[in-house]
Amino acid sequence: MFKLTDEEYNQILAFKRDLHMHPELSRQEFETTRKIKTFLEALPSCKILPVPAPTGVVAVIRGSGEGPEIMLRADIDALPQTEEYESPWKSQTPGVMHACGHDFHTASLLGAALILNRMQLAGRLKGTVDLVFQPAEEGTTGARMLLDAGLFDWIHPQYCFGIHNWPSVESGKIVCNQGPLMSAKRNFDILIHGSGGHGSMPHLNVDPIVCAAAIIQSLQTVVSRNTNPLDSVILSINQIEGGSPMNLVVDKVSMKATVRSLSEAALDRAIARTQAIVENTALAYECRSEIVWKERIPSVFNTPEMTTLARTCAESTGCQVVDAPPSLASEDFALYRAFAPSFFYWVGSRSPEETKTEELHRPRFHTDDTALRYAAELYAASACLG
């Protein structure tokens, strides 16, 4: 396998820093998409496929021999946060920040494209490599967008690989866990319909705010009373909206919530209990309820067979291969597992000199960019299986 040259490393480092300065939110990654295409168009062996999605890039490098088709996926979007970490490449877009390091993933996959392009030109690439730069991972709708755009009509991978930088692990280490790595989840909206009126006449109104308060309190029992303590389940009401500054009872309260678990069975149970509690509590308060369930995202699950393959790839980078505790964060990379055996790596991204971890989605989040090299070589090694 080829290694990233120093010149190539500097090229992807500059690309990453440029993306970091100019982050774009989910489904608005138009400039990011343009920059990725420009980068790939300079590689003679790389062909961009016209998958009809408004943002994101899918490209292919075809080798010259017999070998499997392998998909490598990076995500490209940023978050609505204000960056507080000072650096010469701090975000220049107010209120938007690459706080999850998707700029790191994008640059790493471009680094792999540089390596694989050189291999192809030297006649050393056997199979086919699909490069998927996925939009809108935050909010976990981008994988679905690509699937609906016919991604797997254009490419037919036998394996899929993805990475996430992992700031609680030092750079130079790669996490290759077997089993559930990241959480299954289902987001949902709750609507409580009451009957509004003058606040002086509570007997003539049905107040959805009191009902919403009871629902929020009761939903806490899904984790505390309905979940096996050995399973990890989270149920959070993340937003509540409703009310009036006047002495007025309103008609409606809406909430946004998420329920998630590393265990699909525990998530099934939590969803069923949530449905029952919302419906029946609303009835008890003479309200009408609606739950709008969003697409269920499965857990990121690394099978024993894929873990064996992935460990070999990780070891070939010279990095230390380690285990780490799984995370209740979710990843829509999990949706690709229905189409091909998949593996998800975490690439250590905290500088060994830093003792304090700035976690993902924090305003002072940042990556140790020496790890870009390891991530690029890891992607490339994963593309050269078989």
Least distance CB 299 / Ni ion (angstroms): 16
| CB of 301 closer than 8 Å to CB of 162 | no
Please, what is the minimum distance in Å from the beta carbon of residue 281 to Ni ion?
34
Our finding on whether 136 is near Ni ion (CB under 5 A) is no
Span of 93-101, 149-157, 242-250, 336-344 interacting with Ni ion by CB under 5 A: 93-101
Nearer to Ni ion, 74 or 100 (CB): 100
Residue entry with tokens 């393959």: 309
Nearest approach, Cβ of 257 to Ni ion (angstroms)?
Answer: 21
Q: Residues binding Ni ion: what is the number (CB under 5 A)? A: 1
Minimum distance, C-beta of residue 192 to Ni ion, in the bound complex (Å): 32
Query: C-beta of 79: minimal distance to Ni ion in Å?
Result: 9
Smallest separation (angstroms) from Ni ion to the CB of 23 = 13
* Residue with Cβ nearer Ni ion (100 or 222): 100
Residue 182 in contact with Ni ion, rule: CB under 5 A: no
Show Cβ contacts of residue 38 under 8 Å, excluding neighbours closer than 6 positions: none
Residue span 251-290 as binding mask against Ni ion, x where in contact by CB under 5 A, dash where not: ----------------------------------------
Residues 42-81 as x/- pattern, contact with Ni ion by CB under 5 A: ----------------------------------------
| 106 versus 205: smaller Cβ distance to Ni ion | 106
Which tokens belong to 273?
A: 């209990």
Comparing C-alpha atoms, which of 93, 94, 101, 54 is closest to residue 76? Answer: 101
The answer to the question of residue 100 lying near Ni ion (CB under 5 A) is yes
C-alpha torsion 16→20→23→27, nearest 10: 30
Region binding Ni ion by CB under 5 A among candidate stretches 95-103, 250-258, 301-309, 362-370: 95-103
Q: Which one, 138 or 170, has the nearer CB to Ni ion?
A: 138
The vertex-196 CA angle with 194 and 198, nearest 5°, equals 150
CB of 330 to Ni ion, least distance (A): 10
Site stretch for Ni ion (CB under 5 A), options 94-102, 217-225, 295-303, 370-378: 94-102
For residues 100 and 334, which CB has a smaller minimum distance to Ni ion in the complex?
Answer: 100
State the nearest-atom distance from the C-beta of 307 to Ni ion, in Å: 21
- Segment interacting with Ni ion (CB under 5 A) among 98-106, 200-208, 340-348, 377-385: 98-106
Residue number with the smallest Cβ distance to Ni ion: 100
CB atoms within 10 A of CB 363: 13
Q: Pick between residue 89 and residue 346 the one whose CB is nearest to Ni ion.
A: 346
Which residue lies nearer to Ni ion by CB, 38 or 238?
238
Residues in touch with Ni ion (CB under 5 A): 100
